[in-house]
Structure 1
């Protein structure tokens, strides 16, 4: 009757009711279309802001994490392992980036949707508001149960990713020994085991999270049934209009959808949380080698290249005993110090203390009269050229590797270093000379060539102390002799510290230190040690004949007998 009355009233005033209805529909359609455009623009802006913010977070995290790793000593690298550090700098930060993107995009939209829907619900008093509380409690219960089931697995998943990366790295690095020992099947089984553990964990988490959407739909449909059931009673009693009930259903679904959007983000949050904890472990890990609070520099009048060990001892972290104890010596620029000893006697560990790859646990090491711990790491390492046994080259060219120290290395310095290191000949034989490409790790050059390039790289920076950590092991005797001869002629303004296994490499050194189980058991020249140090004589006998040693059997027996006493 009300509708008929309104229509008759419009007609009495000469207004067509259809025109009124069309005008209303046009107005509402225009308003809704405008809101859709605003929503579209807001969504695009939200996506752009989310992507840019997440990428910036990932960039800054990656830079901070890698910067921290670059300041790690071998002790911290060993604590995490190289494979784990690679995973943390790449995969873990990628998980954080994905979570940040979803979080910003969804969490900017969901609260707006939920708040507007709640405001509309509260504006219409229907008596069904309790159904919203039931829906929120049900959604929270579903999310809580799923998070409780999957969180421990997400934590294990990242460690399994570490293990897969570590296994793959070992297989690739050890490809030649694996083939030579015919262990391909065994290593493939080991990789399959690591991969299977990761797959099983991922299947468990994915299956658990796959229940999320069906359960959310079940909650939404159950809430819809509740609203219809109790709303129908209100319609029957005449206290609620059908339109109000349908609007309430729409608003309730918007509120539930807002919570569903948040739960979609929660699918990736557990793994992102684990990834964030792992990245935080790296960033907050204290470093054992740090710059001094008040750095010092050698005086202008201080002797260049004077290296002194004073009662030096060293113990690895978590070790029970010193691996080096009571080492004392001094060497000067223009002198060569040889260090020799049996395998495991602490030779490499000793020279790694010079550039502060590790810090001494007792005594002190001074360079040019200043304790190395009182210099900044950059200043100390600028003065030291360190060549490890396994010379590591970087992808690029021969020139980029020899000038690795920076712009301070001129072309003449580079070529002079190559001549001294006996690398000039094979560089000239390459088609592009110093512009010849070097692949990652120097895999396109031989072991001896790689060592000579590593030696040239260290010499090119003109350091005060050059440390050769068994860096002649891949050289033949002829190249070894020529290289040592060139070092003696051209490198007269730097102290040479040479760790060697071969007597021939260090027999002409100005001073030789013999290590045995971390202790100095002999110091002197080659001739002096042959007649006074049984450990040195034993090594010499294994490599040189009695004629080359210049000792009679009686003299050898006397030295060995004196050592036994």
Structure 2
């Protein structure tokens, strides 16, 4: 699993190699200190070495300790650089991968889950790598080195390790095998918690308008408690690691002091050797503790590894590998041939059924129908936001699958029902449609969308800062800005998905007039609830339960189509009642 993420080390491979090298040198120096200390006690103090020998070995110990400190500091620095760079590359790779997702892929994971994977899961992975680069190198080298040194001092006394190590190994295995699924469940609860936070922050104005703060707080507390419960369930297994380690360490120390002390009393063991043996024993047990910490960290991170890899290996439902990179849209003609569509790819649960439709380039087409009649679904197939289950969608004379996705979508501008603006100035938001647009072009399209006048009413005009999501402009103003942004693309096909519902009828009429006069060569599809918004169209599609019930001009539909007649009459009566 870790191997799949190692390529993300990228330009930080040098630091990832230097960190364990420095750790290895640090361990070598640390292993020499107990040996030298034993020499001081046995030969310097109690033996014939005297003060000069003691000072000499003491100076060597100081130099070795300084070298160990330097190597430890460098290993820490290199592992931090490698770990943070590794996390940066994973986040970039994961974000780039998410960019390739189709709507269906995003629906599968949910926004909150993807955010958790980009933040919490990547942080867990970063911490795991930093621990692996240092502890995973230091612990085994110290374990083997200290054990060898201990055996070389007294092989009989070293038998204590043969008893303690298997006990620790079995305990860690039992902890790890049971803890992993619990941590995976905990991260899923984090997803749910992030979803609640996201909903609350994005919709905070609605929450306050309906005085539902306490209700939302209760929902958040419930989610937080769910995270707490799963975390406690996972952690109560992990925390067993420390008492088990302490029991083994203290038991080993008591055994060594008892048996080693008896050997010293009997004269078969020297005090300096016993002291160095105890230090090597401590190093061995400390290395076992580090291995247990690595083990626990990997248990925690394993869930994050799997979630990141799952997102990275997700196959986009849409791809353009077989598309012709040289192909471009020659015009804005659109044709649907026997199109069937289902969001879950289920032929028994079709959202669109046997759609046959032909639209000439430059035509203005209205789309009308009841709620749930699949109006938005129909137009989302044109820029290939979803793929058809069967049949063909042809744009500009070619199947949409024959185009590179960027080529197709650059020529199909879509203003969605949910108008999205980004933090930044009005000009920066408009230039999302064309980052190279001049100020004159920006103003021209803003005027066409009937947005220029209200923009200039702000003190800073086009340089006015928009709050997150455009909270400081009204719904109608937001719609006009998104229309202007789409117009800056100068597309061959323009799709307006109920995008003038928040503007008054006079402004709506002015926008439609601008489309007729300035964008005659652009194929325009207008989804609307009001008949008045589409009555001027060359033809109007009447959708009913995912099927085309009518496709003709306003006048002919009034004569022949019952659904259209009912919509028109209900809206006409509503106008009369208001008057």
TM-score (norm 2): 0.87
Match of 2:516 in 1: 488
Matched, 1:165 2:194: yes
Alpha-carbon offset, residue 133 of structure 1: 1.6
| Partner residue of 1:521 out of 549, 559, 565 | 549
Alpha-carbon offset, residue 457 of structure 1: 0.3
| Partner residue of 1:265 out of 273, 294, 297 | 294
- For the 8 Å contact 2:345–2:389, the answer to whether it is kept is no
Alpha-carbon offset, residue 265 of structure 1: 2.5
Q: How does 1:180-219 map to 2 (within 5 A)?
A: 180-219=209-248
Alpha-carbon offset, residue 138 of structure 1: 2.7
Aligned residues: 530
Alpha-carbon offset, residue 465 of structure 1: 0.3
Q: How does 1:209-358 map to 2 (within 5 A)?
A: 209-295=238-324, 297-298=326-327, 303-317=330-344, 319=346, 320-358=348-386
Match of 1:156 in 2: 185
Alpha-carbon offset, residue 335 of structure 1: 1.6
- For the 8 Å contact 1:355–1:384, the answer to whether it is kept is yes
| Partner residue of 2:405 out of 377, 382, 401 | 377
| Partner residue of 1:397 out of 410, 425, 430 | 425
- For the 8 Å contact 1:143–1:212, the answer to whether it is kept is yes
Q: Distance in 1 between matches of 2:467 and 2:512?
A: 28
Alpha-carbon offset, residue 534 of structure 1: 0.5
Change (3 A) 1:237 1:309: same
**Which of these two proteins has the greater Rg computed from alpha carbons?**
1
Match of 1:53 in 2: 82
Q: How does 1:433-472 map to 2 (within 5 A)?
A: 433-472=461-500
Change (3 A) 1:297 1:338: farther
1:333-365 deviation per Cα after TM superposition (whole angstroms, max 9, x unaligned): 332011111110010000011111101111111
Matched, 1:67 2:96: yes
- For the 8 Å contact 1:292–1:375, the answer to whether it is kept is no
- 1:441 partner SS: coil
Q: Distance in 2 between matches of 1:526 and 1:350?
A: 20
Alpha-carbon offset, residue 545 of structure 1: 4.8
1:472-529 deviation per Cα after TM superposition (whole angstroms, max 9, x unaligned): 1111111100110011111122110111111000001001111000110111100010
Q: How does 1:119-130 map to 2 (within 5 A)?
A: 119-130=148-159
- For the 8 Å contact 2:334–2:359, the answer to whether it is kept is yes
Match of 2:388 in 1: 360
- For the 8 Å contact 2:449–2:483, the answer to whether it is kept is yes
Match of 1:82 in 2: 111
Q: Distance in 2 between matches of 1:336 and 1:318?
A: 31
Comparing 181-190 with 536-545, greater Cα deviation is found at 181-190
Q: Distance in 2 between matches of 1:77 and 1:546?
A: 40
Alpha-carbon offset, residue 135 of structure 1: 2.2
Match of 2:13 in 1: none
Comparing 343-352 with 225-234, greater Cα deviation is found at 225-234
Q: Distance in 2 between matches of 1:348 and 1:546?
A: 25
TM-score (norm 1): 0.89
Change (3 A) 1:450 1:516: same
CA RMSD of aligned residues (A): 2.1
Q: Distance in 2 between matches of 1:26 and 1:176?
A: 75
Change (3 A) 1:430 1:182: closer
Match of 2:29 in 1: none
Alpha-carbon offset, residue 332 of structure 1: 3.1
Structure 2 unaligned spans of 5+: 1-45
Change (3 A) 1:430 1:177: closer
Change (3 A) 1:408 1:364: farther
Change (3 A) 1:217 1:292: closer
Change (3 A) 1:25 1:242: closer
Change (3 A) 1:546 1:125: closer
Matched, 1:500 2:531: no
Change (3 A) 1:458 1:83: same
Q: Distance in 2 between matches of 1:33 and 1:98?
A: 32
